[in-house]
Structure 1
């Protein structure tokens, strides 16, 4: 049986747990040193995943920005960029977004009812795979494992983080907390309402805590709960 990838959830939030505010412009939570740390983590991974909602909202290129890190990947026998992955249950994608036009190979996971729509929208911009009538994270991870993905970085959004955490599929969490308060009820959050493994009293193991300028990085092992 092919091994599933190691799943690393990465997010930056305000002190009150928000990934962004409700304005039209993206709220920059991290500082330059933390952005560089994220770039280093991206370079260490075989694939990077974001949801379609995050793609539409933030329009990211989702690249390894450091030329030195890209060169090291090539020297190590890896593609210059990690595989870029997205998931959509509705098929509502935009072929003009930056995600599709920068970096290396792209892959989209969707459901049976949306496969034709996604392929028609993207043409040859990405490989498209269905997980059946519903989005099945187990099948997503199994397929990534079959494609040689050993380390997967998940960069949002909150719905995806919530699903992976509640299904006990996240191996590690990197949470960068910025000294900001958003205070908006409709702002997107890192995690939503769900039945999490072990319930509210289950404590995850803390792997690391460090300050990066005015940001605090916390690394947790979600599967190691007491």
Structure 2
């Protein structure tokens, strides 16, 4: 990410940090995902498949409340139209009492800027929203979303290391990545994930047209370098598997 600018609320631009020597450490990054027994994030229908339960939804809400930013890919914004807000009023109140926004910053990345300005990503919550877009569509994205979010030129394609450095420079110390499969794959293969929180639903999808947890890629963990299983927790009829993916696992 060599030449990139950010359109902030002031209307001014600044270069993204692109040097490990000058940038602070990247945010502690945890990936959060629910999948079926056969590894699918959803089925192939238009209606969203619920893979979790109320106990796990509350756990995810608690994790969100502990983070500075929540990131999803543009495909998730289009398909699921998530709000990405802390649901619990008590947790929102605790954040505000600590001088934080009621919900974490919302972040997405896109190669085509084909997002609906009326999506709940943009129109719900008072928290800051950031879009990292490909250089080729930066002008279009800034014109389309500049009044709704901070638009950042992320390179072509969007450089995840530059994105992580930029978020850290904006004060993000703890980043929660909620998908989808393409984004999870990118963070894992880029070596930017410190923790994986994987919830297993007790059923099969059995349809190869459905989206999977990850796509093909060169992952740091394989048969000779296994990921460390740090926690197993039953939550009703689903199971949480928590994996340590870096030496920073569990860092506050």
Q: TM-score, normalising length from structure 1?
A: 0.96
Q: Which residue of 2 aligns with 1:34?
A: 56
CA–CA distance in 1 between the matches of 2:156 and 2:123?
A: 29
Q: Which residue of 2 aligns with 1:189?
A: 212
Counterpart of 1:51 (choices 50, 69, 73) is 73
Moved more, 199-208 or 134-143: 199-208
Per the TM alignment, residue 200 of structure 1 is displaced from its structure 2 partner at its CA by 3.6
Query: Residues 59-74 of structure 1 correspond to what in structure 2 (within 5 A)?
Result: 59-74=81-96
Matched-pair contact (CA < 8 Å) for 1:93–1:121 = no
The number of aligned residues is 224
Per the TM alignment, residue 223 of structure 1 is displaced from its structure 2 partner at its CA by 2.9
Q: Give deviations 1:118-161, integer Å, cap 9, x for gaps.
A: 12222310000012232100000000000000000000000010
Q: Give deviations 1:80-117, integer Å, cap 9, x for gaps.
A: 11000000011111101111111211000012111111
- 1:90 is the counterpart of 2:112: yes
CA–CA distance in 1 between the matches of 2:131 and 2:99?
A: 24
- Compared CA separation, residues 198 and 210, structure 1 to 2 (3 A): closer
Q: Give deviations 1:56-90, integer Å, cap 9, x for gaps.
A: 00011111000000000011121111000000011
- 1:7 is the counterpart of 2:29: yes
Matched-pair contact (CA < 8 Å) for 1:88–1:109 = yes
Q: Which residue of 2 aligns with 1:217?
A: 240
| Structure 1 residue runs without a partner (length 5+) | none
Counterpart of 2:170 (choices 147, 157, 166) is 147
**Alignment RMSD:** 1.1
CA–CA distance in 2 between the matches of 1:14 and 1:32?
A: 16
Q: TM-score, normalising length from structure 2?
A: 0.86
| Structure 2 residue runs without a partner (length 5+) | 1-22, 248-252
- Compared CA separation, residues 138 and 71, structure 1 to 2 (3 A): same
Per the TM alignment, residue 214 of structure 1 is displaced from its structure 2 partner at its CA by 0.3
CA–CA distance in 2 between the matches of 1:123 and 1:198?
A: 39
- 1:100 is the counterpart of 2:122: yes
Matched-pair contact (CA < 8 Å) for 1:93–1:118 = no
Matched-pair contact (CA < 8 Å) for 1:171–1:222 = yes
Counterpart of 2:140 (choices 117, 126, 130) is 117
- 1:157 is the counterpart of 2:180: yes
Counterpart of 2:231 (choices 192, 208, 213) is 208
CA–CA distance in 1 between the matches of 2:208 and 2:224?
A: 25
- 1:23 is the counterpart of 2:18: no
Per the TM alignment, residue 198 of structure 1 is displaced from its structure 2 partner at its CA by 4.7
Matched-pair contact (CA < 8 Å) for 1:12–1:178 = yes
Matched-pair contact (CA < 8 Å) for 2:221–2:227 = no
